[in-house]
Structure 1
Amino acid sequence: MLLQALLLFLAMNLSSSYDIAFNYSSFHGANMSLNGVSEITGSGVLQLTNNSQPLIGHAFYSNLLQFKNSSNGSAFSFSTAFVFAITVPLVFPGSGLAFVISPTTHFEEADSAQYLGLFGLTGNGDPQNQVFAVEFDTLRNIDVGDIDSNHVGIDLNSVRSNVSAHAAYYLTENNKTTIHNLSLTSEDPIQVWIEYDGTEKLLNVTLSPIGIAGRTGQPLISYGVDLSPTLQEFMYVGFSASTGIVASYHSILEWSFAINGRARDLDTSKLPWYPRSKSSSKGLSMVSMIGISLSSIIVAIAAISVILFIVRRGTYEEIVEDWELEYGPHRFSYKEISMATNGFRDEELIGFGGFGKVYKGVMPDSGLQVAVKQVAQESEHRVREFLAEVSSIGKLRHRNLVPLLGWCKQRADLIIVYEYMPHGSLDKYLFNDDKPPLGWKQRHKILKGVASALLYLHEQWEQVVIHRDVKAGNVLLDAEMNARLGDFGLARLYEHGSDSQTTRVVGTFGYLAPEMSRTGKATTESDVFSYGAVLLEVACGRRPIDGQRPPEEIILVDWVWECIKGGKLLDVVDPRLEGCFDIGEITMVLRLGLWCSHPVPTLRPSMKQVYQYLDGDVPFPEISVTKMVVQEKKNDQYSFLETSYRHDPSSSSSADTAILLSGGR
């Protein structure tokens, strides 16, 4: 008994006085465990990811460290300082990096992009993860609640940050403290200090550029939190980073760490070399060290260059106009695009129409597969539509939107570059016999994805975005058959709380809301109408208007309406489903499609309601088959508004049977 008590006493005292510290000014010979694509470069930099996509890189100190007092389970204090740099060789950065304390160095279920290589869609937020991270995120993802595309966040078991702040640093001069924005993708080195006080239960995160003593200044984030429930007794410490549809170099240049002590200050005067996309003058010094004259060679090269420039100027000359300056950072050169598409060869053509031609391409530097849209020169409104597409989708970030990677203007050529969608458009799978039929689960997932994208456009982005051409042909399918809404050439933006000012009727016949022919005014309600047509065609496997069908079936919405009145709703279901579907779900989708197609715009549901119904968060309102009564409880009372459902183009008041609908808002 005496021996056991002595051992317990020693263990308690050892654990309470536990401390460890290490410092790496170069990672050559460092005690690090690397996995994914992380590596130690020749200059001694810990490079987590490289210029490829999508990738994950992890790098952890190889030994397990004790982070909690074994006697009382409270988390120890710890401190770390490191310098990182993010290099963005393409137009958009590929997610970000994170400082991590984790029970493991392997993340088998992890995804790249917004999950930073730490979690996946199903595991994100699970309290059993027991992962603490500080993220430095360079891409705003609405799915995980990111505040912007340049922020720092504190993450506990999830990349949905508990607290976050726009990247910045505080500077105190003459007794006055000012805050200065800091770009995580500037490619310049950034110093970070992360310090947790286990007694005060306080976590401080401080950033600053190199050469500024930010550690002693005001922290960017000061967060009161007890890490004891999150941390295990023994854990690993290190870094994680990921890329998404585009890539970034994530480099750690120096690192120090300490438990129950202060991490050593870093010497930033001699940082190692790391990849940069910006031009550097350092390479010029190499020429000056060569002891032979190169004048004749230089003259010859110069002469050849002038000749080549004159010959090729007509092909690659690019004139920057005033309106382009706003979008300059996202511009590709015409030469890059031409090389990617093999000179716009017909063999690379994957689509064409009134909008122009679309080519498949591979970017020469990154190997990224892209879809290159060459806007038709015959289009009357081509410049306006080009600008609309660049200025709208170019700033949007959502898992169900086709990512716009960049653009190019060369003389009369207007070009937009997207991420390539390997499975093409949804309409090919619905209406072409040479494509395998989609199962109901796939169709339901696609419908929910498009609804999520429209909800983001209408309500969740900083402005209201009206797509104006929602249809199955503009729903593209990625490698995992996820829906991606694309083609924003007709899109219009306006501020929340104001009205759309569009007056030109645009869109596709069969998807146009009836009020468009009277007012020409596109609204979120007109997008909902178009989406209603998509709901019906996905469930029925046919286009909204089909002149080859019997007269009573030519207009899809009318046919569905007649079948629901006659109690034969399932007669309209796509026969290629072969009866393999959830009757409740497909019935709800058909009735929701009718509701979205209501001739009165204000009586259509919002995209938020639509998404909630498809997601199952909110039960679909009870509907009488004979009266199509939709009830919505407001202020403990049910409100009803009687209106015609069917709409005859020659009359706005014709009706066979009334729909009783509450206000769709």
Structure 2
Amino acid sequence: MATNNFDQTNKLGEGGFAELFKDTLKSGKVVAVKKLTLGHSSRAISEFESEVKLISNVHHRNLVRLLGCCRQGHERLLIYEYMPNSSLDRILFGKNKRLLSWKERFNIILGTARGLAYLHEEFHVCIIHRDIKSSNILLDNNFQAKNSRFWAVFNRDSNIDFMDFLRGYTAPEYASHGQLTEKADTYSFGVVVLEIVSGRKSIDLKQPPDMEYLLKWVWSLYENNKVLDVMESEKEMEGYSEEEVLRVINIALLCIQDSARHRPSMSEVVTMLLNKDEIYFQKHLHTSFKDLAFK
């Protein structure tokens, strides 16, 4: 009834084996309903149910909350809290993109990091998101970031999304060897941070040849002491601190190192984002940058 039989006028988007609908319950509460099609595999259905039981216990202000689920036949429905400001990629790159202030950008970066740190280290089991990208970071009324689509991502047998690999979100060790650890999330987070700071997609073939690949371009600027040129619309980015922007970019570079063992944990990322002590940060910067493989 809430979806009006999944009427297309209520559809928010689709991807993979799911469609997402905006719905209003009888109580007046607005929710987002994800309609999944898992096929006839009993294993897929069993895994879905066990994963939902686990994720229903995940509660953090920077994770989209699962409110409920429903099963009927081979279909499965997931009911989430509704995020009125849609996804980060639509804000950064969409037709109706909105120029975010530096404070908004920093809060989105920090919130995303806190959500991942909770999944990796604070929940009673380690949950690897595996699908961190700007389209899976949702924004509430106050532009507070909430990570989404983590309900099935701790299945380590999951296949790599080829399109995500092409877009540059996938960590090298995961793409080449299928090696999945929480450091793969750290890598993807670093890519998203650079997208947030620059307002550019990780791979954009519409850019000039030397700027098509965001990571390569940023690293080139870093080597030439011009890394602040990464910033989007500096004159319009309200309230930014040059010192803070530089620290955030450096943290992103730590996260996208080729070697997983040199990347910081997400709890370390949160600490570095909040810690303005340059001695603390330089210690991490020095030990992590000396063996950069992608340099």
Superposition TM-score, scaled by structure 1 size: 0.41
Match of 1:561 in 2: 219
1:436 equivalent to 2:91? Answer: no
* Match in the other structure for 2:160: 506
Q: Is the 8 A contact 1:375 1:413 kept in 2?
A: yes
Matches within 5 A, 1:325-364: 339-364=1-26
State the Cα deviation string for residues 274-323 of structure 1 (Å, max 9, x = none).
Answer: xxxxxxxxxxxxxxxxxxxxxxxxxxxxxxxxxxxxxxxxxxxxxxxxxx
Q: Write the distance in 1 (CA, Å) between the matches of 2:198 and 2:46.
A: 36
Three-state SS of the structure 1 residue aligned to 2:79 is strand
Residue in 2 aligned with 1:119?
none
Separation in 1 of the partners of 2:40 and 2:191? Answer: 26
User: Per the alignment, in what secondary structure is the counterpart of residue 463 of structure 1?
Assistant: coil
Unaligned ranges ≥5, structure 2: none
Superposed, 1:497-646 pairs within 5 Å as 502-507=156-161, 508-509=164-165, 510-575=168-233, 578-580=236-238, 581-616=240-275, 619=278, 621-622=281-282, 630-631=285-286, 642-646=290-294
Aligned residue-pair number: 288
1:371 is aligned to 32
Structure whose CA Rg is larger: 1
Q: Which runs of 5+ in 1 are unaligned?
A: 1-338, 494-501, 624-628, 633-639, 647-654, 656-665
Query: How far apart are the structure 2 equivalents of 1:511 and 1:594?
Result: 14
Q: Distance in 2 between matches of 1:537 and 1:588?
A: 15
Q: 1:382 to 1:356 in 2, by over 3 A?
A: farther
Residue 411 of structure 1 corresponds to which residue in structure 2? 73
8 Å Cα contact 1:400/1:485 also seen in 2: yes
SS in 2 for 1:465: coil
| Amino acid across the alignment from 2:231 | V
The whole-number CA distance in structure 2 between the counterparts of 1:370 and 1:576 is 36
- Sort the Cα spacing of 1:583 and 1:642 in 2 relative to 1 into closer, same or farther, 3 A: closer
Q: Contact 1:354–1:379 (CA<8 Å) still a contact in 2? A: no
Q: Tell me how far apart the structure 1 counterparts of residues 245 and 45 of structure 2 sit (CA, whole Å).
A: 42
Which residues in structure 2 correspond to 1:251-330 (within 5 Å)?
A: none
Q: Is the 8 A contact 1:355 1:379 kept in 2?
A: no
Is contact 1:504–1:521 with CA below 8 Å preserved after alignment? no
CA deviation after TM superposition for structure 1 residue 375, in Å: 1.0
Query: 1:586 Cα deviation (Å)?
Result: 1.1
Contact 1:374–1:414 at 8 Å: present in 2 too?
yes
2:118 to 447, 456, 464: 456
Q: Deviation above 3 Å: which 4+ runs of structure 1? A: 376-389, 617-620
Aligned to 2:59: 397
Letter matched to residue 391 of structure 1: K
Alpha-carbon RMSD across the aligned residues, in angstroms, is: 2.4
Name the CA shift for 1:405/1:416 in 2 (closer, same or farther; >3 Å).
same
Partner of 2:154: 492
Deviation for aligned residue 1:618: 5.4
> 2: distance between equivalents of 1:516 and 1:488?
17
Letter in 2 for 1:559: W
Q: Distance in 1 between matches of 2:95 and 2:108?
A: 19
- Give 3-state SS (helix, strand or coil) of 1:453's partner: helix
* SS state at 1:406 partner: strand
Counterparts of 1:518 and 1:404 in 2: how far apart (Å)?
Answer: 33
- Cα 1:371–1:594 shift into 2, 3 Å: same
The residue identity in structure 1 corresponding to 2:36 is V
Measured at CA, do residues 506 and 391 of structure 1 come closer, stay the same or move farther in structure 2, by a change above 3 Å?
Answer: farther
- Give the match's secondary structure for 1:622: helix
Shift of 1:433: 4.4
**Cα gap change, 1:617/1:394 in structure 2, threshold over 3 Å: closer, same or farther?**
farther
- Give the Å deviation of 1:577: 6.1
Alpha carbons 1:388, 1:489 under 8 Å: kept: no
Please give the secondary structure, in 1, of the residue aligned with 2:172: coil
Q: 2:88 touches 2:138 (CA, 8 Å); kept in 1?
A: yes
Label 1:386 to 1:644 Cα distance change in 2 as closer, same or farther (>3 A): same
Distance change >3 Å, CA 438–CA 356, structure 1 → 2 = same
Please say if residues 388 and 492 of structure 1, whose CA atoms lie closer than 8 Å, have aligned partners that are also in contact.
Answer: no
State the one-letter code of the partner of 1:357: E
- Judging changes above 3 Å, is the alpha-carbon distance between structure 1 residues 389 and 409 closer, same or farther for their aligned structure 2 residues? same
Partner Cα separation in structure 1 for residue 219 and residue 199 of structure 2: 16
- Which stretch of the first structure deviates more once superposed, 425-434 or 609-618? 609-618
Contact 1:505/1:521 (<8 A) preserved: no
- State how 1:13-24 maps to structure 2 within 5 Å: none
Q: How far apart are residue 630 of structure 1 and its match? A: 2.2
Deviation at 1:530, TM superposition (A): 0.6
User: Cα–Cα, structure 1 residues 347 and 441, in superposed 2: closer, same or farther, change >3 Å?
Assistant: same
Report the identity percentage.
36
SS at match of 1:492: coil
- TM-superposition CA deviations, 1:196-215 (whole Å, max 9, x none): xxxxxxxxxxxxxxxxxxxx
Hey, which of these two has a bigger chunk of helix by percent? 2
Give deviations 1:629-652, integer Å, cap 9, x for gaps. 8236xxxxxxx8842341xxxxxx
Partner of 1:423: 85
Could you say which structure has the greater relative contact order, defined with CA pairs below 8 angstroms and 6 or more residues apart?
2
| Matched residue type, 1:548 | K
Aligned residue in 2 for 1:245: none
Deviations 1:343-393 (A, max 9, x none): 1111110111114110011222x3221100001457989647744652343
**1:511 counterpart letter in structure 2:** Y
Q: TM-score scaled by structure 2?
A: 0.89
CA contact (8 A) 2:92 2:99 kept: yes
Give the 3 Å change call, closer, same or farther, for CA 434–518 of structure 1 in structure 2.
closer
